[in-house]
Amino acid sequence: MIDIGANLANKAFRGDLEAVLRRARLAGVTTIVATGTSESVSRAALEIARDNGASADGPRVFATAGIHPHHAKDFSRGSLDTLRTLAGSPEVRAIGECGLDFDRNFSPRDAQLRCFEAQLELAADLGMPVFLHERAAEDDFSAVLARFRPRLTRAVVHCFTGSAETLARYLDLDLHIGITGWICDERRGTHLVDLVRRIPRDRIMIETDAPYILPRSMPRAERPRTGRNEPCFLRWVLEAVAKARNESETEFERATVATTKAFFDLPADDVKPH
């Protein structure tokens, strides 16, 4: 399996990242794309990707470089130079996470829009895919993307939690859709069980968004007491999505791995080069 979104540079993993990576590999996660959410976190995600290239018993780690809408207020011309430099490393496979979050509005909306557009411009310029975040902002988000889409290679809306209408809009924009353990949440994610069936096979990918969104379908005894999610729990997402799509886990896993490799332009084989 491939986890397309794990916040490995989050402080929640500072103490035991190696063990977390080892557990992920043992659980069948062969590759992780570590999410960059600010200049410093993107730098840290790249470091993790580089370091992990040297360890034989972990999954392969790649990274994204971007600025989350929450941090848009700190965005400057200099940030864009940093992202451009980071994106020059072969471990960095996408620009993001970037987008709009009008749910929490940790940054003013105009700052979010500026920061989002600048990163789409960068991705278009570099010919790189984008890793997108959207919360309570589907109208503005779609409008911005509609303008940039012809110049973007590939784009994924990560942690999709929206409505049927929003999904249809995103598929019309030829976006890929990332599904997290939100689908395993009986309080707020049940609508996704129906929606994931509508996503074409070559457009759906899975992610943990660790350390967030621990799958609630996990038996209580298996859930970590801290509530911290880890890439090793990706199987719960895969299981829920496969079941919802009425596909076998093996069949869905094979398809989504192929989709993910094509999206991030990952090496075809899962063996580390050494």
Q: Contact positions toward Zn ion, by CB under 5 A?
A: 133
Q: How far apart are CA 101 and CA 113, in angstroms?
A: 10
Token pair, residue 171, equals 């598929």
Helix (H) or strand (E) holding 252: helix 249-264
Closer of 71 and 133 to Zn ion (Cβ)? 133
- Residue owning tokens 């990952």: 266
Closer of 58 and 181 to Zn ion (Cβ)? 181
Minimum distance, C-beta of residue 134 to Zn ion, in the bound complex (Å)? 8
Closer of 67 and 242 to Zn ion (Cβ)? 67
Minimum distance, C-beta of residue 175 to Zn ion, in the bound complex (Å)? 14
Minimum distance, C-beta of residue 64 to Zn ion, in the bound complex (Å)? 11
Minimum distance, C-beta of residue 54 to Zn ion, in the bound complex (Å)? 29
Q: How far apart are CA 43 and CA 261, in angstroms?
A: 23
Phi, psi of 203 (to 5 degrees): -125, -5
Minimum distance, C-beta of residue 45 to Zn ion, in the bound complex (Å)? 14
Closer of 103 and 174 to Zn ion (Cβ)? 103
| 130-135 β-sheet, strand order | 2-6, 31-34, 60-65, 92-101, 130-135, 155-157, 176-179, 204-206
Closer of 132 and 232 to Zn ion (Cβ)? 132
Q: Which residue is nearest to Zn ion (CB)?
A: 133
Residue 175 neighbours by CB distance under 10 Å: 23
Q: How many residues does the chain have?
A: 274
